[in-house]
Amino acid sequence: MHHSIELVDVHVHFGNVAVLAGVNVLASPCEFIAVVGENGAGKTTLLKVANGTVRPQRGQVKVLGFDLSENHHGHAVRKEIGLVPQRAVSHRFPICVQEAVLMGRYGKIGLIRRPGRADREKAYEAMKAAGVVQFSKKLVHELSGGQQQKVALARALAQEPSILLLDEPTTYLDRESSSEIMETLHCIHHQRGLTTLLVSHDPQWIDPYCDKVYLLKDRKSHLVTKPSPSVQTLCRNSDEGTERRHQEL
Amino acid sequence: MGFGQLLSYPFMQHAIVAVLFAGIAFPLIGVFILSLNLVPLRFAMMHMALLGGAVGLFLKVDPLLPGLLFCSLSSMALGPVSERMKLGLGTLSGYLMTLSLALAFILFYKGNIHVVQAFGILWGNILSLTLRDLLLVIGVSVLILGMVLLFFKEIQAILYDREVALAVGLPEKKLYYVMVFVLGLSVAASMRMIGALLIDAFILLPAIAANLISRSLKQVFLFSSLFGLMSGFIGLYLSFLLDLPTSSAIILVASAIIGFCFLIQRRVGFRAKVMSDRMGL
């Protein structure tokens, strides 16, 4: 069966530190996959492997049929992958939402060439889908965390990707904003027929959105079915951990 | 002798042409430095330029050429080396800065280099530019302007977020290294004009002022160039009027522009927003 994303026995280590040690993740076209794990489990590294920005020391990585293990195709594949990073941009860069979303088209436009009318229309459609059209003229750093996350999502959509990768999309968001962004994501996933891979340390937002869930633990991945004791245990531990952090603060 | 009469002299004409080109182009590099947090790298380049100048004086050749060579080589190497060695750019820049300063002073001492010659590298003198110096300034300025005009959207993405630039499919690393290399060239080209220690007059200060009042990258670039021109020409004129060192006068004017922008940033930010909305800048 043809998979959009195939990570087979992937091993990644930075220096002497093993981050991933035998990870297997398979995503079929139009599937919504979640990878959950505690902080420091290697979730972001897994996304970077799927995006071609980190090469594994061992294992096979195939995305949209391209073998990324040898790093020949990373540049071309990234144009087909919309990545929503975890953090909002930290510095106060003077860019409005419209320009930030249009940036998603830059890889497809090519070097030197300017964005055309078609690119601006696609960026506008992406802003509409993500629900940020009303902020199009505002500077990105003037928006709230949730709004900035939607802008990042719109930029990824403007690329017209086949695959959407999301790194902790609900981190730094309150419950209402988290629910809103997951609903938006779910709609977009179905409307555009995307393959979506989301990583999170907070599994409470996974059900009912995801088709498949992997648990990243001890540097390995474990496919779990919903509902399952593992996911529920992780939910329980996650809630207890959050409560403890609030008390400490 | 009036300022107008001075304009008929070649040294003054060279100075005005240098200010014209450097004032427009070099502040654009300052925008790169601020957005990419390359301030430590800039310090390292300044000291490499000083070391190159010291080597030139020691070998009794034109200090500009070794300065250009040292800046170019270090700017080509710093980016890749820091990433391969997993060292922060600040750490590597600090190491190079200190080492190059020590080596420069050893060369001054061992070469019996007169303090006036040594200070010449540190402070520069825009009124002593030769035709070759001027051609270097013009060449580097045209390169900077060409790069910014041709690759504006790519530069915008990298300055916004390197990770995003990579994620949307741009050749982020190659472009970043080119930007760092051009930074090294502009530092070397500034050395004779404004001195290794005072290059911020043209490179950093106008960009700092522009950042205070701009609402888009286009505005940052435009205001940086405007403030670079203003500080260059007004500084040149004031140095003649008040008998001040030219480099210092330019820095004083650039600093005053920053102060002015800081005071009016809210008001001008609103006007810049109107300009942004109406003119698409």
ipTM: 0.83
Whether B216 and A99 lie within 8 Å, measured CB to CB: yes
Q: Could you give the 3-state DSSP secondary structure of residue B37?
A: coil
Confidence (pLDDT) at B281: 52
Which residue would you say has higher pLDDT here, B22 or B1?
Answer: B22
pLDDT class of B280 with cuts at 50, 70, 90: low
> With an 8 Å Cβ cutoff, is A244 touching chain B?
no
Residues 6+ apart with CB under 8 A from A16: none
Confidence (pLDDT) at A7: 92
Q: Is the pLDDT of residue B3 over 90?
A: no
Confidence (pLDDT) at B137: 92
- Interface probe, candidates A45, A111, A148, A157, chain B, greatest B C-beta count within 10 A: A111
Q: Is the pLDDT of residue A169 over 80?
A: yes
Average pLDDT over residues A99-124: 94
Nearest CA to CA, how far is A109 from chain B (Å)? 10
> With an 8 Å Cβ cutoff, is A229 touching chain B?
no
Q: Which CATH superfamily is domain A1-80+162-249 in?
A: P-loop containing nucleotide triphosphate hydrolases (3.40.50.300)
- The fraction of chain A above a pLDDT of 90, given in percent, is 42
Whether B163 and A111 lie within 8 Å, measured CB to CB: no
Whether A107 and B169 lie within 8 Å, measured CB to CB: yes
Whether B217 and A114 lie within 8 Å, measured CB to CB: no
Whether B167 and A51 lie within 8 Å, measured CB to CB: yes
Q: Is the pLDDT of residue A133 over 80?
A: yes
- Interface probe, candidates A63, A97, A112, chain B, greatest B C-beta count within 10 A: A112
* Residue B265: exposure state from Cβ atoms within 10 A (0-12, 13-18, ≥19): middle
Q: Which of A95-109, A207-221, B195-209 has the highest mean pLDDT?
A: A95-109
Whether B166 and A79 lie within 8 Å, measured CB to CB: no
Confidence (pLDDT) at B219: 95
Facing A106 at nearest CB: one of B35, B154, B216? B154
Which residue would you say has higher pLDDT here, B47 or B255?
Answer: B255
- The fraction of chain B above a pLDDT of 90, given in percent, is 43
Q: Could you give the 3-state DSSP secondary structure of residue B204?
A: coil
Confidence (pLDDT) at B11: 87
- Looking at the structure of chain B, the number of domains it has is 1
Whether B215 and A109 lie within 8 Å, measured CB to CB: no
Nearest CA to CA, how far is B276 from chain A (Å)? 9
Q: Is the pLDDT of residue A238 over 50?
A: no
Range of weakest confidence among A53-62, A205-214, B85-94: B85-94
**Domain containing B67: what range?**
3-279
Range of weakest confidence among A50-64, A114-128, B120-134: B120-134
Which residue would you say has higher pLDDT here, A87 or A28?
Answer: A28
pLDDT class of A244 with cuts at 50, 70, 90: very low
**What is the rounded CA–CA span in Å between residue B54 and residue A183?**
64
> With an 8 Å Cβ cutoff, is A66 touching chain B?
no
Nearest chain A residue (CA) to B214: A94
Confidence (pLDDT) at A247: 44
* Domain boundaries of chain A, sorted by first residue: 1-80+162-249, 89-160
Whether A114 and B153 lie within 8 Å, measured CB to CB: yes
Which residue would you say has higher pLDDT here, B40 or B259?
Answer: B259
* Residue A87: exposure state from Cβ atoms within 10 A (0-12, 13-18, ≥19): middle
> With an 8 Å Cβ cutoff, is A89 touching chain B?
yes
Confidence (pLDDT) at A77: 84
pLDDT class of B266 with cuts at 50, 70, 90: low
* pLDDT tens readout for residues B209-247: 999 999 899 999 999 999 999 999 999 999 989 999 888
**What is the rounded CA–CA span in Å between residue B191 and residue B198?**
8
CATH of the domain at B164: 1.10.3470.10
Average pLDDT over residues A164-179: 85
The C-alpha R_g of chain A, in whole angstroms, comes to 18
The arrangement of strands across the sheet holding A212-217 comes to A81-84, A163-167, A195-200, A32-37, A212-217, A220-224
Confidence (pLDDT) at A103: 95
> With an 8 Å Cβ cutoff, is A81 touching chain B?
yes
Which residue would you say has higher pLDDT here, A130 or B273?
Answer: A130
pTM for the predicted model, two decimal places: 0.85
Residues 22-51 on A with a CB inside 8 Å of B are 51
φ/ψ of A219, rounded to 5, equals 70, 10
> With an 8 Å Cβ cutoff, is A9 touching chain B?
no
Facing A94 at nearest CB: one of B157, B163, B217? B217
Contact B28, B217 (CB under 8 A): no
Looking at chain B, which runs of residues are DSSP E strands?
none
* pLDDT tens readout for residues A37-74: 888 888 999 999 998 888 889 999 999 988 887 656 67
Residues 137-166 on A with a CB inside 8 Å of B are 137, 139, 155-156, 159
Facing B168 at nearest CB: one of A93, A95, A107? A107
Confidence (pLDDT) at A50: 92
> With an 8 Å Cβ cutoff, is A88 touching chain B?
no
Facing B169 at nearest CB: one of A95, A108, A115? A108
Average model confidence (pLDDT) across chain B: 86
Facing B168 at nearest CB: one of A112, A139, A159? A159
Residues of B in contact with A81 (CB under 8 A): 167
Q: Is the pLDDT of residue A223 over 90?
A: no
pLDDT class of B190 with cuts at 50, 70, 90: confident
Confidence (pLDDT) at B21: 95
Nearest chain B residue (CA) to A51: B167
- Interface probe, candidates B36, B166, B168, B277, chain A, greatest A C-beta count within 10 A: B168
pLDDT class of A248 with cuts at 50, 70, 90: very low
Which residue would you say has higher pLDDT here, B79 or B236?
Answer: B236
